[in-house]
Structures are given as C-alpha cells and as structure tokens.
Amino acid sequence: MAKYRRQHGLFVVEGTTSVLDFLNSEIRLDGLYATGNWIEQHRDHIPHEYTEVEEKELKKISFLKTPPEVVAIFKIPEPGNFDLKNLTGLLLMLDGIQDPGNMGTIIRTADWFGIDTIVCSPGSANPFNPKVVQASMGSLSRVKVYTADLTEMLKNRPDYLKTFGAVMDGQPLVEVAKPQTGIIIIGNEAHGISKELSSQIDFRITIPRFSGHKGPSAESLNASIATAIICYEFRK
Amino acid sequence: MAKYRRQHGLFVVEGTTSVLDFLNSEIRLDGLYATGNWIEQHRDHIPHEYTEVEEKELKKISFLKTPPEVVAIFKIPEPGNFDLKNLTGLLLMLDGIQDPGNMGTIIRTADWFGIDTIVCSPGSANPFNPKVVQASMGSLSRVKVYTADLTEMLKNRPDYLKTFGAVMDGQPLVEVAKPQTGIIIIGNEAHGISKELSSQIDFRITIPRFSGHKGPSAESLNASIATAIICYEFRK
C-alpha cells in the first residue's frame, strides 16, 4: 500500500470532517469510498463519482481502530517551491520533526493560528503519511507544506525577515518582540535545531519552566507543545 | 503481557532518562533489565539487584521501534485519594482523555509547568499504559495521577477553589484572572467536558482562533495542545 501510494502520488484521508475539508480544497480527488448511508447524508457536498462500499470493506482499507464511514484517496499535490520574498504573515520551519503525530498536530495548530505555510527539512516526517494526515484533522487541506534545505533558504532571505528559533537556553518567549511577519523554527524532538541551521537564528527563544518548584521536573516540552505555545504567543 | 501487568500491578518503563527518573522516585522497582554496557555506565545510580541481558532480549520485551539499552518493571503505586482541601497550586482534571499519547504529553507538560497533581475521570486512558508512560518521558514519576468521579469531587470543594473549564465558546483565556491555586478542567478529545461536569465550571475559557484570516480553519485544537497553552498562560 505504501509503495502503491508513492508510485502514484496518492494519499488516504479518513473520516467525514477530514474528507469534506479536502473535497473543499484544491487537492484533487482520485477516489471516494463510502457507505450508502454516508452518501445519502452528504450528497450535496460530494462529486458525482464515488464507490458505495460496505462497512466491512472500509474496515479493510482503514488505518484506524474504529473504521470511518468514508475513506477518500487524493493526489499528492506537486511539491512546488516557496519564495520567502512572498511571505506575508508567519511561517513555520520544521527541522527534522520525526514523529508523524507531532507533525500532524503542528499542522492542525498552525491552521488554528492562521499560519498557512510550513517548510520542512528533507529529514522530516512525510506530511502525507497516514498518521500525519489523521493527526492534522483536515488542516493539511488548508496549510501548504513544502520541503526544502532550510539553511539555504534562510541564507538568501530578505533582511527584514527575522527568524525565531526554539531553544533550551534562549530569551524567555514573552520578552521577545514578535513581528506579524516572521519565521518560527522548531527543531528535532531529541536534538533540537541542527548546528548548521542554528547559525541562521536571529532570536533564540525559550518557554520557561515553572520556577516556583523545587526539585527536578521535565527535561523539555514535546515539540508540538512548544510550537503551539510559541504560535499562541505570536498571535496574542 | 497486559494481563500479567494488571494482575500484578506492574508497569514498564523504557530508556535511560525515564528509568533513572523512576528509580529516583518513591515508586518501587520490581526488576531492572539492561545491557552490560548500560550497567557499567550507570552503576552509581542503580540498585544492587538487576538482570544483565543481551540487546536482542531487550528487543523482545520492548514496545519501542528502536529498543533501548534498559527496561525496568515498576509496581503501580496504590491509587489513593486526593483531598481538594489540601490543594496548594494548580490541579489538572482530565474528563475522559482517551488517547494515551495525549495523556502522556499532558503529564509531561504539567511537570514542566510545576503542576504535580492530575485527577482523571474513570473513563480516561490508563496512566500506566506503556504509551502513556513513554509519552510522559519520565514525568509520571513526579506527577501524581489519581482517578475519581470528578463531579462528586468538585461538588464538595472549598468555596475559595475556582474551576476553569476549557470550552469552545468561553471567555478568551487571556482575559480571565488566573489564581495561583485553582483547578483546570480539560474534556474529551471529541466531546469536550461532559454535561454533568460542566455544571461545576466557574470560568469557561477559550483559546481564540486567529481572526486575521478569511475562510475556514481548524475546528479545534488537540486536547494536549489546549492544555499546554492554558497551563502556560496560568504560569506566566
């Protein structure tokens, strides 16, 4: 199945909300498989071509524990390139986010906070991996996810574009002035931002641990949690 | 294996950081299994009794894709009861958090923000499920997780203890006055806070979606993301 998807550039979307989100986007449908009941309920929102299937058949093709009433196959959009000169608003750069759940949650969170562009390093999780699609809860239909050499991209950025890197020993997040247009950089779950990319950070930011407590506490925050708190603070 | 753990009240911890965190806590060890190399490196921090094993044996007992050099079995602590009259600081209530990854991430985030007590409804994920333990990254050794009927517990709370429930249509988080001692309530991933428990909310709080954007965006935030942003704002 994984091989088939790669060769044909297809990916799978499951569940009503996500499928309707993707049908509502520019991403092209390849096939829609749903129960008769689901088709009846959503007739106004779906294309004329679909395949009516039994629940037990959906169970076979679903990646989920509780199989949904609808599964759709879409074409992976052409990767394309993003030119930083065109950036208005915030952009997220993900430097080696490995966990598909984290990647999907970050896409969902970006969508909530009105960030519609993400650029991943080549070593990041594949945004069209079924676990990423699932965790993004339809947001992958609205947020554009590019892959690029992040260091190269930043070397040529316009002077006015500032970068904010999440690190363990930077300035407290709340103390840094946050522009409406800028780049937030999040590193790998275990190793943070790569050394090479670190040279491109203008502002090193940190989410402070609660200090009113004695004794040990968590070593770090989960990468998707850190991303969310930073996006929240930029948008406040 | 799951049956064995339940009968004997044991749970599994994998990887150096987590195992050392639990060894450093009041939770009682049942057995430590590690490679000779690992034991050599950590001799000062481990008990006298352990079992030296080969990497391939660890591979068999590990739940992880990349098996660690150490796996330890601990005794699940007695559940106990938490009396709200003893609360100083913040407490998290989880009303039906189902996903083990979310539960573990919430425990890790609570630890980071100095919240050392969580109370779950009986319908929540088991905090000693291996996926929860893994996602908590050792924080489960420091944060106490109780299970109780949340509505009953809140009905008898002292008057000065206020509750803050995360909902879709409440006051913006930033506008609500946040006490140093209080209760944050997070609901189920799909259905939010149950109707019964909602009657016990003093302040209904919401993380605003970014409003500078036209068109649709994410329907909601992931439960562990919402929890983290609320904890961050309470601790700022």
Q: Residues of B near A (CB-CB distance < 8 A)? A: 17, 21, 24, 101, 105, 108-109, 111-116, 135, 137-139, 142, 174, 207, 209-213, 215-222, 224-225, 228-229, 232, 235-236
What burial letters (b/e) apply to A170-180, b meaning 16+ CB within 10 Å? beebeebebee
- Answer with the one of A75, A96, A125 that is the final residue of a domain: A75
pLDDT at A4: 52
Which pLDDT score is estimated for B167? 97
CA distance B95 to A64: 23
**Are residues A97 and A69 both part of a single domain?**
no
φ, ψ for residue B146, nearest 5 deg: -105, 160
ipTM of the complex in this document: 0.92
DSSP B125: P
Domain end marker among A10, A43, A75: A75
Helix (H) or strand (E) holding A175: none
Report how far residue B46's alpha carbon sits from residue B67's, in angstroms, rounded to the nearest whole number: 20
- H runs (alpha helix) in A36-148: 36-42, 55-61, 100-112, 130-136
Residues in chain B, pLDDT under 50: 1
Domain count within chain B = 2
Distance from CA of A112 to the nearest CA of B (A): 5
Shared domain check, A99 and A66 = no
- Cα separation, B230 vs B225, in Å, equals 9
Query: Is B109 within 8 Å of A228 when comparing Cβ atoms?
Result: no
- Are B129 and B197 part of one and the same domain? yes
Pick from B108, B219, B222: which is nearest to A218 by CB? Answer: B108
Q: Find, in chain B, the residue whose alpha carbon is nearest to that of A175.
A: B236
Same domain? A88 vs A199:
yes
Q: Which two tokens stand for residue B182?
A: 């209080």
| Residues β-bridged to residue A188 | A192
Residue B10 pairs with which residues in a beta bridge? B75
B195 Cα to chain A: minimum distance (Å):
23
Same domain, B58 and B91: no
State whether B104 and B169 are in the same domain.
yes
Axis-axis angle for helices B100-112, A223-235 (nearest 10) = 60
pLDDT at B62: 84
pLDDT at A90: 97
The distance from CA B187 to its chain's CA centroid, rounded to whole angstroms, is: 14
The verdict on A196 and A136 lying in the same domain is yes
Regarding whether A216 and A130 lie in a shared domain, the answer is: yes
Q: Output the pTM of the full model.
A: 0.93
E strands along B46-202, which residues?
51-52, 70-75, 90-95, 117-120, 144-147, 163-172, 182-187
Q: For chain B, what's the residue count?
A: 236
Q: What is the pLDDT of residues B28-72, one digit of tens each?
A: 999 999 999 999 999 998 988 999 999 888 888 888 878 899 999
CA distance A225 to chain B (A): 6
B32: domain CATH number is 3.30.1330.30
Mark whether B215 and B139 lie in a shared domain: yes
Nearest to B165 by CA among B96, B236, B230: B230
Q: Do A42 and A107 fall into the same domain?
A: no
Per-residue pLDDT tens digits for A187-225: 999 999 999 999 999 999 999 999 776 778 899 999 999
Answer with the one of A15, A48, A75 that is the final residue of a domain. Answer: A75
* A88 and A71 together in one domain: no
> Which CATH number belongs to the domain containing residue B120 in this structure?
3.40.1280.10
pLDDT for res B90? 97
Do A98 and A207 lie in one domain? The reply is yes
In the sheet that holds B163-172, the strands lie side by side as B144-147, B117-120, B90-95, B182-187, B163-172, B203-206
Q: Strand locations in A182-229, DSSP E? A: 182-187, 203-206
Chains A, B: CB contacts under 8 A, how many?
110
pLDDT, position B222: 97
- The chain B residue lying nearest A222, using CA atoms, is B105
* Interface residues of chain A, partner chain B, Cβ below 8 Å: 17, 21, 24, 101, 105, 108-109, 111-116, 135, 137-139, 142, 174, 207, 209-213, 215-222, 224-225, 228-229, 232, 235-236
CB-based contact A222 B17, cutoff 8 Å: no
Query: Which residues sit opposite B93 in a β-bridge?
Result: B119, B185
Give me the residue label for tokens 């796996």: B71
Quick check: A21 and B236 CB within 8 A? no
Residue A104's domain comprises: 84-235
Point out the residues of chain A with pLDDT beneath 70. Answer: 1-8, 213
A222:B108 CB<8 A? yes
**Angstrom distance (rounded) from CA A150 to CA A162:** 14
